[in-house]
C-alpha cells in the first residue's frame, strides 16, 4: 500500500507567494496613500468653503468679521460667534491635516485700515476687512511663513496638486472680493506689495 504524500507548500512555493504579495503591496500602498492625501485636500477645501460661507453670512449681518481684537491674528473666542447664538456654522471645522496649527493661527483674519502707516501702498482713508483661511497642507509645514499675519506674510506659496501630491505649499481661501493690494482672484501672490491691484 502506498503512503499518501503530505499536501503542503514547498519553501520555493512559499517564497513565490510572499514575493507576489510584496509586489502587490508595493503597488497598492502608494496608491492608497495618494488617495488618502487627495481626500484630505478635498476635505480641507470643502471645510474652508463652509467656513468662508459662514464668515460671509456673519459679515452680512454685522458688517464685520468676528474679530476679537487682534491686529496680528485672531483669538479663538471670536469664532464662538459663528456658532452661537446664531448658527452661521453648525460646528467649527478641524484642519484635515491635524498640524500644529491652532484655531487662532490657522484661520488668520486681518482687519486692515488701509490708511495705516503699518501697511504701505494702500488706498488712504478706506477700511477693508479681509481674511485668509489656511491649512499647512500635505507637507505639514508653514510654506507661507506666518500666514496668521496675513496680509503681511513673507512669501505666499499656494499648494497645487499638479506639482505632486506631497509638494510644498499651503491651502488657502481668501476673502471673496478682490481687496486692494492683498487678494486677487482667490489666489495668493508672492509679496503683499506686489499683489496686483484690482
pLDDT tens profile 3-55: 666 677 788 999 999 999 999 999 999 999 999 999 999 988 888 888 888 88
Residue 125, in any domain of the structure: yes
Residue 6, in any domain of the structure: no
Beta bridge partners of 110: 130
Residue 1, in any domain of the structure: no
First-to-last alpha carbon distance for the chain, in angstroms, is 96
Could you read off the pLDDT of 182-198 as tens digits, one per residue?
333 333 433 444 333 33
Average pLDDT over residues 111-134: 45
Percent residues over pLDDT 70 in the chain: 55
Residue 190, in any domain of the structure: yes
Three-state DSSP class for residue 67: coil
pLDDT value for 169? 83
Percent residues over pLDDT 90 in the chain: 16
What's the predicted TM-score (pTM) here?
0.66
User: In the chain, how many domains are there?
Assistant: 1
Question: Is-contact 167 156, C-beta < 8 A?
Answer: no
Cβ neighbours for 45, distance < 8 A, ≥ 6 positions apart: 171, 173
Q: Which domain holds residue 166?
A: 13-194
Phi, psi of 68, deg, nearest 5: -80, -60
Residue 140 has pLDDT above 70, yes or no: yes
Average pLDDT over residues 160-167: 86
Residue 163, in any domain of the structure: yes
pLDDT value for 114? 26
Residue 86 has pLDDT above 80, yes or no: yes
Amino acid at each position: 500500500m502506498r503512503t499518501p504524500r503530505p499536501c503542503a507548500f514547498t519553501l520555493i512555493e512559499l517564497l513565490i507567494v510572499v514575493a507576489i504579495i510584496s509586489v502587490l503591496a508595493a503597488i497598492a500602498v502608494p496608491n492608497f496613500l495618494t488617495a488618502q492625501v487627495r481626500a484630505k485636500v478635498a476635505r480641507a477645501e470643502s471645510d474652508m468653503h463652509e467656513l468662508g460661507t459662514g464668515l460671509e453670512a456673519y459679515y452680512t449681518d454685522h458688517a464685520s468679521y468676528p474679530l476679537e481684537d487682534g491686529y496680528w491674528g485672531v483669538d479663538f473666542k471670536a469664532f464662538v460667534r459663528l456658532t452661537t447664538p446664531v448658527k452661521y456654522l453648525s460646528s467649527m471645522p478641524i484642519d484635515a491635516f491635524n498640524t500644529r496649527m491652532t484655531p487662532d493661527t490657522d484661520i488668520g483674519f486681518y482687519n486692515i485700515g488701509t490708511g495705516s502707516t503699518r501697511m504701505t501702498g494702500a488706498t488712504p482713508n478706506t477700511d477693508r476687512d479681509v481674511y485668509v483661511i489656511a491649512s499647512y497642507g500635505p507637507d505639514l509645514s508653514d510654506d507661507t511663513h506666518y500666514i496668521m499675519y496675513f496680509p503681511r506674510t513673507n512669501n505666499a506659496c499656494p499648494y497645487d496638486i499638479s506639482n505632486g501630491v506631497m509638494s510644498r505649499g499651503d491651502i488657502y481661501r481668501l476673502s471673496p472680493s478682490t481687496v486692494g493690494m492683498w487678494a486677487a482672484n482667490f489666489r495668493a501672490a508672492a509679496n503683499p506689495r506686489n499683489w496686483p491691484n484690482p
